[in-house]
Amino acid sequence: MGEHIQSTFNEIRLKGLAASPGIALGKAFVFNKRQPVIDSTSITKSQIKEHLSEFHRARELTENELSALLKEELDDEILNIISAQVEMVRDPELGHQVEQLISVELHPASYAVQKVFENYLRMLSVSGNHVARERVMDIKDTRDRLIEYINDQSAMIRLDSEYILVAKELSPREVIKLSEGELKGIIMDKGGPTCHAAIIARAMGIPAVVGAKNVSELVHDKGLIAMNGSTASVIINPTDETVQKIKRKIADWADYLSHLKSICHQPSVTKDGHSFTLRANIEFARELPNMASYNAKGIGLLRTESIYLTKEHFENQKKQEAFYTTILAQTGDDPVTIRLFDAGGDKFFNIGAKEGNPFLGWRGIRMLLDEPDLLSEQLKAIYLAAEKHPGRVKILMPMVTNVTEVIALKKLMKELQKQLAGEGHEIDPAIELGIMVEVPSVAILAGQFAKHVDFFSIGTNDLTQYTLAVDRGNELISELFNQRHPAVWHMIRRTVDAAKQHNIGISVCGELASDPEAAACLLGMGINELSMSPVKIPEVKQLLIQNEYQRMKDLSIGVLQCATAEEVDKLFENWKN
């Protein structure tokens, strides 16, 4: 990391860490954090008032600026940092101590702020653990912003599309503010692929390389620089020859992207005219534009856990309703399948002792049925959102193992519908209820379950874990976790047969659906609806539209003859070629 690979006449090549994909060539904008000017000469008593009000004004402006960022569609981790920064600005101790230093010690406002923060930073450096290290940057960033406002140096530079931003290190706030123009890329001396600047760059689709040691010192401001966010290479002062090469790469990359786009916009039919539907698995509203650009037809799996796990007011029906409504409003006329909270009970409640085996424990619908308030709140929010967008919502039950659970949920749904109707709401009669098929008992008894529900959605991740008895988080046995295992295919076959026999819907929302050959095999088994992370759509779609449905059917018969996952791999490999 960071060493010089080659240093010729002028051109310097560096290697950092890949943070966000994309190739860029542009002028370097070296962002040097201004060391704020701190005046430490004492003020006179008559200036106290003026300095106090400078501090209060800076506090208000900083708080407003940070609060405005909280309204943007950002990663939750980033939002957490910014809201912690808001709390820092509001900190009663900070206010009290700074006021004391100004009015008693007669320090100017900027020096007072600096001094108070210094104290906290010194205490943090003593503890020296990882929690402390991560906080230092956010605390310093808050301090500097306050001082910049006190000094009236608050204006942020706006960069245009010619520039690649080069800096030692950037705080989340700086990355967001600096990329409000149209940056070509970001390169930092410090940071790793999971640092906050990297997360934001990825979310904003800006190519980025981090951990490129010394880059901010080696490059000249406004000098030519090139970068590749996938290979993590940085080239300072590229020669004419290199520039030509990079331009070709940029053109190739653009071609590749437009090729993928063109695939997404072709009709979803196999070579011999069998049509299929590809939908998106999503969790956050900010993924919607991405989903549209890959031309996903509606949402096959809307995860809802994050509403509860990351928001402060976690029992808030209105917030949930707003979230579902946003999703529905931005997905045209396509269906949206909302999965009820699928998490262990420990995420929501203090259940004291940890469960010995949480994946076989109190989770999904098991927990929800034990906590009717939580469940009712979510269902009501869904009904109210569906009232505004009728005919499009499907409800999906997670972690079902018994028919009785389905019956119990339907009973509760009926009661809620009655209650809401009594309050004057229109209940969307078209809302479908389906279950996740992710536990062997459901696949085995699929025919029984099919009598009670409108559709099945196969969750191959958990179905694999439970069928093969392999903990998918355990690295020691990660080789055993293989969704292509023949036992999983037999479970799927059983489920499809039951769905067809009872004439109910069937889809797959697990990772298997985004494995192109496996997707062909699923289609061959008779599953015409696959849901996946939107970025996976082009690759899957390419394979599906280039092959005949008849051959996929053959594949789906062949896969049931295999004894091992390796045999399945071989079968798929041969089929493809």
Partner 1 sequence: MIRKKIKIVNEAGLHARPAAALVKLAGKFDSDFYIHMYGYKVNGKSILGVMTLAAEQGAELELEIEGPDEKKAARAIVDLINKGFNES
Q: Tell me the closest approach of the beta carbon of residue 37 to partner 1, in angstroms.
A: 23
How many residues at the interface with partner 1, by CB under 8 A?
A: 33
253, 314, 359, 362: which one binds partner 1 (CB under 8 A) = 314
Task: Give the C-alpha separation, 84 to 446, whole Å.
Answer: 48
Q: Give catalytic status of residue 195 as yes or no.
A: no
Q: Tell me the closest approach of the beta carbon of residue 165 to partner 1, in angstroms.
A: 24
Task: Give the C-alpha separation, 454 to 443, whole Å.
Answer: 15
135, 319, 452, 493: which one binds partner 1 (CB under 8 A) = 135
Which long-range contacts link 412-415 to residues 24+ away (Cβ below 8 Å)? 412/369, 412/372, 412/375, 412/376, 412/379, 413/379
Residues 30-69 that bind partner 1 (CB under 8 A): none
Per CB under 8 A, the segment of 16-24, 133-141, 235-243, 568-576 that binds partner 1 is: 133-141
12, 58, 94, 409: which one binds partner 1 (CB under 8 A) = 94
- CB burial class (10 A; 0-12, 13-18, 19+) of residue 262? exposed
544 contacts 529 by C-beta, under 8 angstroms: no
Strand 336-339 relative to strand 23-31, pairing: unpaired
Instruction: Tell me the CA distances in angstroms from 63 to 24, 176, 240, one per residue in order.
Output: 35, 16, 47
Phi, psi of 306 (to 5 degrees): -65, -25
63, 75, 91, 355: which one binds partner 1 (CB under 8 A) = 91
Tokens representing 134 are 């991560």
Q: For partner 1, which is the closer residue by CB, 275 or 474?
A: 474
Task: Give the C-alpha separation, 364 to 515, whole Å.
Answer: 26
Among the listed residues 405, 424, 433, 457, the one whose alpha carbon sits nearest the alpha carbon of residue 300: 457
Q: Give catalytic status of residue 259 as yes or no.
A: no
Per CB under 8 A, the segment of 80-88, 289-297, 328-336, 437-445 that binds partner 1 is: 80-88
Q: Tell me the closest approach of the beta carbon of residue 199 to partner 1, in angstroms.
A: 14
Catalytic residue among 51, 107, 195, 196: 196
Q: For partner 1, which is the closer residue by CB, 53 or 125?
A: 125
Locate all alpha helices (DSSP H) within 428-506, ordered by sequence.
440-444, 446-450, 460-468, 486-501
Instruction: Tell me the CA distances in angstroms from 83 to 14, 56, 75, 90, 522, one per residue in order.
Output: 35, 19, 12, 11, 45
Q: Tell me the closest approach of the beta carbon of residue 102 to partner 1, in angstroms.
A: 18
Residues 192-211 that bind partner 1 (CB under 8 A): none
Q: Tell me the closest approach of the beta carbon of residue 82 to partner 1, in angstroms.
A: 9
3-state secondary structure 364-399: HHHHHHHCHHHHHHHHHHHHHHHHHCCCCEEEEECC
Per CB under 8 A, the segment of 127-135, 329-337, 394-402, 464-472 that binds partner 1 is: 127-135
3-state secondary structure (DSSP) of residue 178: helix
Per CB under 8 A, the segment of 132-140, 227-235, 411-419, 557-565 that binds partner 1 is: 132-140
Sign of CA dihedral 239, 243, 249, 250: positive
Q: For partner 1, which is the closer residue by CB, 256 or 349?
A: 349
Helix %, strand %, coil % of the chain (to 5): 55, 15, 30
Site for partner 1 contains 312 (CB under 8 A): yes
47, 67, 83, 528: which one binds partner 1 (CB under 8 A) = 83
38, 48, 52, 132: which one binds partner 1 (CB under 8 A) = 132
45, 71, 130, 265: which one binds partner 1 (CB under 8 A) = 130
Residues 336-355 that bind partner 1 (CB under 8 A): 346-350
81, 165, 264, 393: which one binds partner 1 (CB under 8 A) = 81
Tokens representing 258 are 């437009």
73, 87, 105, 118: which one binds partner 1 (CB under 8 A) = 87
Task: Give the C-alpha separation, 577 to 574, whole Å.
Answer: 5
Catalytic residues: 196, 509
Residues at the interface with partner 1 (CB under 8 A): 80-81, 83-84, 86-88, 91-94, 117, 120, 123-124, 127, 129-132, 134-135, 138-139, 308-309, 312, 314, 346-350
